[in-house]
Amino acid sequence: MTSGVGALWSARHPLRILVKRDLAVKYQQSVLGYLWSLIEPLGMGAIYWFVFGVLYSGDTRRHLGDAADSYPLFLITGIFAWMWASSAISEATNALTGQARLITTMNVPRQVFPIGRVTGRFAEYAAGLPILIGIAAVYAAQGKIHPGWTLFSLPLAVAVQLILLVGISLLLSALNVLMRDIERFMRLIIRVLFYATPIIYPLSLVRDSGMPTWVKVGYELNPLVGIFQLQHAIWYPDEFPDARLLATSVLGSLLVLAVGWWSFRRLEPAVLKEL
């Protein structure tokens, strides 16, 4: 894996070119272009705010506490990070099948192609951070949020999420070449993960529920749970994950990366033969 990382670092220039090409192709026939990477999560945030912040405002306030006054920020923070995760997983799944010609002709590590999709979606996430900071500044000026040292959880959240997404993308991109049902299966999994992760609701809602203990334990084994707690903790210090949850997310993400990297290297000969 160490030698593979070194080879990948030496191919950083082709990776940058692939990311720029993917972004250009994605928005080349769009009038609004990169603005779509902001409009979509903001639109989703508005819908969920209407449902949970207006129609069910009583339940929302009971579980969010002080954060209920800035619920739109809570939503947008989670949705921006989720758009990065869901888009990266979805696009990385067909990163090899959709670029077969390039893969068989370019002399670069094949990991570049799925990792390029993850990096491209991160660029869209990063483009939305100024919007997020602007919304947070408005709520902070009104005294509705009180961010502190947990502002530094942003780079940690990004690093852990990047590690997890790279591992998933390597695993799924290789498997999808050999079993094309993977792409369809992941569409369902992505929908399930959205509601099985504290994105639009606080983790306390799950912990205080009447679900069996084994369900709650299984729920928190999902590395995304701790990652999104870190994302929310940027503005809400009380949401910072405890040591057990944080360790589960970090170690789980590293394990997924190791499994994804190993699986990709093992399946690479069969993948190239299939392509």
135: tokens are: 């919304």
| HEC per residue, 111-146 | CHHHHHHHHHHHHHHHHHHHHHHHHHHHHHHCCCCC
| Residue corresponding to tokens 């449902």 | 51
> What mean pLDDT is reported for the chain?
83
Torsion of CA 181, 188, 198, 46, to 10 degrees: 130
Please tell me the pTM assigned to this model.
0.87
Over the stretch 25-80, which tens digit does the pLDDT of each residue have? 666 666 565 666 677 777 877 888 777 766 666 666 666 766 677 888 899 999 99
* Model pLDDT, residue 60: 61
What is the domain partition of the chain in residue ranges?
5-274
Q: How far apart are the first and last CA of the chain?
A: 24
How many CA atoms lie less than 13 Å away from 224 in the CB half-sphere?
21
| Distance of alpha carbon 169 from alpha carbon 174, whole angstroms | 8
* Model pLDDT, residue 229: 94
* Model pLDDT, residue 26: 66
| Distance of alpha carbon 200 from alpha carbon 209, whole angstroms | 16
- Give the residue ranges of DSSP H helices in the chain: 2-10, 12-27, 36-48, 57-64, 71-93, 100-105, 112-141, 153-178, 181-195, 203-207, 213-220, 223-233, 243-274
Over the stretch 207-248, which tens digit does the pLDDT of each residue have? 888 889 899 999 999 999 999 999 999 999 888 999 999 999
Distance of CA 39 to the CA centre of its chain: 17
- In the DSSP assignment, the letter for residue 255 is H
| Residue corresponding to tokens 């990311």 | 19
